[in-house]
Structure 1
Amino acid sequence: MRILGIVFLVSFPLCAFSLGLIDINNATLEELDELAGIGPALAERIIQNRPFSSVEDLIKVKGIGEKSLLKIKEQGLAFANAENNSQEAPIQNEIIEPHASYPDKIFFVEVMPSPEGKDAEGEYIVIKNGGDSLADLSGWQIRDKEGSSKVFALNKSISALKTLTLFRKETGITLNNSGDGLELLDPNGNIVDSVEFGKSAKGVPYIKTASGWEWKEIKKKEEYQEKASPFPLSQKAEIIDISSGKSKPPAILAGFIVAIVSGGIFLYLKNKL
């Protein structure tokens, strides 16, 4: 009986082939297309869902329902030869790709949405490497959240504890003066950092501080000079002799010196007499 069973298993596919039967586990797309109600699309799905233990397993294929399966069975051409499945891929050892690691201290520190002068020339974004080693940003992206959602591929590197300034002419990202947002993405598409800001004032950058993001107005050079000097700039201008380039003493000081000298002369003459 065992020998007869083996002979049957070997001879059945040969007989089926001679009778024009279709082995759903090994048939080509063109052969599967000959089954009742099966077109090229369903034939492709049958191939993708192999192997099948029986014709009834075709019900698992998306698009083949009870009625379609009944037509295939009534046609009498389909059979499943599970003993000789040439489509079954050999078992291979699974290769586990090492998990790529990326810098974890990269973040936005400053944006300038509304610079003095033309926006196209003065807008910029600043990102920082807060780590203690060189950060390779190949595959990283900056994405604009508003408007056309422009994406800029970084593909740069930043030294440890240094910043990178990117102007609009390089990134192509337009920062809306009425409010905008940016996202920093690693090569896996994960959002590493983001910043959002509202309406901006002319010439005022949005800066990340220890207490959070703030609009920080940059003071002009004259304002620093005004605070550093005990005299207002207007008084200083009166004291400086522009033509000679030398400083002159104030009028009060000159009068005081004259009074001292005059008093000294008066005392000297009085003692002589």
Structure 2
Amino acid sequence: MLRLVTLTACGTRTLMDAVFGTDVTGELTYARDLVTGAGTTRALRRGMLLLGDRNFSATRFVDTVASTGADFLIRAKTHSTALKLPILRRLPDGTFLSRIGEVPVRVIEATLTLTPADSTSEHTATHSTYRLVTSLLDPDEAPATALVRLYRERWEIETSYCELKSAILGGRVLRGRHPAAVTQETWALLVAYQALRTAMSDAVLHRPDIDPDRAAFTIALNTARDQIIRAAGIIPHAQTDLVGQIGTAILNGLLPARRHRSRPRVKKRAINSKYRAVGRHTDHRTHRTAVHIEINTLPNPPDG
């Protein structure tokens, strides 16, 4: 088993850095090596904003990110082992200032209401509570509602992992039979992914009217494969432009503008079809959804 942790740009889904190794080492350990550079150039620096899920709401990791000069927006846990976040000062927008270790943070708690456009008695609105911690302390500079909406962009890294495992690998496992071969194959996979993402970004670089989300990864992948199958560029002095070919295909096959969507989380079966969820009456459909955000004002400290 291999554990991979990456730092991915939300807008273009290009890889900024990656660390991987045995699954005996935990995700937080790899993440700390990732953001500090592990002796090389740091991937995080001042002016960047790191989005992280609940697994990264740990005191030591928050301190490590803060030491790079970058800002962060991380979802906090809410169960009994969650970080203690005492209220130091309430802010006018309903958020409050607190501290994680020696790092000052602002805590945002919000309720998200998702209402399907085809809302019926069977598909009604759902409510979720989010608690976010951020180093952006000024509510005028970073409004709470805007940060809650921004946090949804964290899902882009999950999409990039899907592209790595399902699109490029086609759901297959790595072929290496020993650690060195697995390492080599993983780097090759990441390089291929980065090359495709760079070509996709270049295609829309000078088109500010096109959101990078509309560039289809499968089109880029299949176009690159076609170029290899045709052996384009192996004849001396041949006119070839791989990035141009990919870019042209992408611009000719742009995806529709992204809309708010929701889909119930389901548990897949470990055996038989990977598309069959546990529970025969589970709704597998994706619904167009309206999102309403309400910032909660907490009467008591979260750990009280």
TM-score by length of 1: 0.21
Between the two structures, name the one with larger relative contact order (CA 8 Å, sep ≥ 6): 2
TM-score by length of 2: 0.19
- Choose 1 or 2 for highest CA Rg: 1
